[in-house]
């Protein structure tokens, strides 16, 4: 994940993990991928 022009952008780090949709719930980012199922990423606040 990164910011470009003030907007959140998803940046691919694996060629075989194409993301179809994302959702944020509490402190986790849920990513629905085409070939790897649901992936989760714990997110936190950067101060």
Residues 15-31 have pLDDT tens digits of 677 888 889 888 888 98
Q: What is the DSSP letter of 17?
A: -
Q: Where are the domains of the chain?
A: 2-42
Q: What is the 3-state secondary structure (H, E, C) of 6-23?
A: CEEECCCCCCCCCEEEEE
Specify the pLDDT at position 11. 67
Structure-model confidence comparison of residues 8 and 34, the more confident one: 34
Closest CA to 19 of 37, 36, 8, 32: 32
Q: Which token pair is 37?
A: 């199922």
Structure-model confidence comparison of residues 40 and 3, the more confident one: 40
């Amino acid at each position: 994940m990164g910011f470009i022009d003030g907007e959140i952008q998803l940046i691919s780090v694996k060629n075989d993990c194409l993301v179809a949709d994302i959702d944020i719930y509490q402190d986790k980012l849920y990513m629905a991928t085409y070939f790897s199922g649901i992936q989760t990423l714990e997110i936190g606040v950067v101060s």
